[in-house]
Amino acid sequence: MNDALLGNVLDMVRECTCREAFLLIIALTVRHCLTYKAMLDIFRVLNILFGTKYFPTSKAGIWNTLNLKSSTFKRHAYCNVCHRSLGRSDDLREGEGGGVVEEEDGGVLCPCGERFRSRRKLKYFITLDLKRQLERFLHRPGVFRLTQYRLTRRKINALALEDIFDGAEFRKLQQQAHLSPHDFTYLFSTDGFKLTRSSDLSAWPVYVKLNEVPPHLRQTTVFLAVL
């Protein structure tokens, strides 16, 4: 701690907004797989340095800052033994066929006989409001024109498979469903990743891609449906 520079008074950056700093910390957290606790501690340190509570210091505060309300996603519990749906996290009795028993000591009993000591021991997956995501996307200026690519594209070789629209299965779907200019088709994909470096927990997000936009935009026009 003998470096002379450490004695200088910090000159806070005046051209950086709180929003930009907030997003930088979020990006840093994702890049280095930091925990919620670590991220919140960084925000607390920044608040101390600035002498004002500019940044959220709780999970709920982060969600509110990101304008992500709980109504946009739903948590669903399931049994990791029989894979039965046990219902929404706010009402386990709405599960597949019912039969879920919530015991007085906080335990949860699946109809298959598997007992969980508490709700926290249950396995969950999250569904996000895909309809809302699509509505937001379609309200952007110029997006409707882009979604007409299936009808406006020009084939180079009539016999070649140049896009997903040329495949036999898609052409069969187009004939059977009588797709109109206002109908959309999707590609679903998933891939797992570890939540943190030090944890055995993993997530398998399900991504949805819109086929009706030009090919060069499909990698950026991705929606998250399940996590």
Same domain membership, residue 144 and residue 80:
no
- Least confidently predicted of 21-30, 62-71, 114-123: 62-71
What is the reported pLDDT for 160? 92
**Higher pLDDT pick, 194 / 45:** 45
Q: What are phi and psi of 72, to 5 degrees?
A: -85, -10
- Domain boundary pick from 18, 33, 65: 65
Same domain membership, residue 218 and residue 178:
yes
Q: Please give the share of the chain, as a percent, with pLDDT higher than 90.
A: 18
Torsion sign, CA atoms 27, 31, 36, 39 = negative
pLDDT tens per residue across span 176-219: 888 888 889 999 998 887 766 666 777 788 999 999 999 998 88
What does the alpha-carbon distance between residue 128 and residue 76 come to, in Å, rounded to a whole number? 11
Same domain membership, residue 109 and residue 84:
yes
Contact of 181 with 145, CB cutoff 8 Å: no
Same domain membership, residue 86 and residue 112:
yes
Q: What is the average per-residue pLDDT within 114-143?
A: 85
- The tokens describing 161, both together, are 């498979």
Is 102 a residue whose pLDDT tops 90? Answer: no
Is 37 a residue whose pLDDT tops 60? Answer: yes
Count CA atoms closer than 13 A to 81's CA, side-chain side: 10
Is 163 a residue whose pLDDT tops 90? Answer: yes
Q: What is the average per-residue pLDDT within 10-35?
A: 78
Is 67 a residue whose pLDDT tops 80? Answer: no
Which residue's structure tokens are 């819109």?
210
pLDDT tens per residue across span 108-118: 888 888 888 87
Q: What is the average per-residue pLDDT within 129-149?
A: 89
Same domain membership, residue 57 and residue 91:
no
What does the alpha-carbon distance between residue 16 and residue 24 come to, in Å, rounded to a whole number? 11
- Domain boundary pick from 34, 65, 96: 65
Domain range enclosing 208: 129-155+164-226
Contact of 183 with 177, CB cutoff 8 Å: yes
What is the reported pLDDT for 64? 79
Same domain membership, residue 140 and residue 61:
no
Q: What is the DSSP string of 144-193?
A: HHHTTHHHH---S-TTS--SGGGSHHHHHHHHHHT--TT---EEEEE--E
Same domain membership, residue 151 and residue 136:
yes
Same domain membership, residue 221 and residue 139:
yes
What is the reported pLDDT for 198? 66
What is the reported pLDDT for 100? 74
Same domain membership, residue 219 and residue 139:
yes
Count the domains in the chain.
Answer: 3
- Domain boundary pick from 21, 40, 65: 65
Same domain membership, residue 218 and residue 135:
yes
User: Mean pLDDT over all residues of the chain?
Assistant: 82
What is the reported pLDDT for 70? 56
SS3 217: helix
pLDDT tens per residue across span 79-101: 888 888 888 776 665 555 556 77
What does the alpha-carbon distance between residue 128 and residue 139 come to, in Å, rounded to a whole number? 19
Same domain membership, residue 140 and residue 222:
yes
Same domain membership, residue 51 and residue 82:
no
Is 5 a residue whose pLDDT tops 70? Answer: no
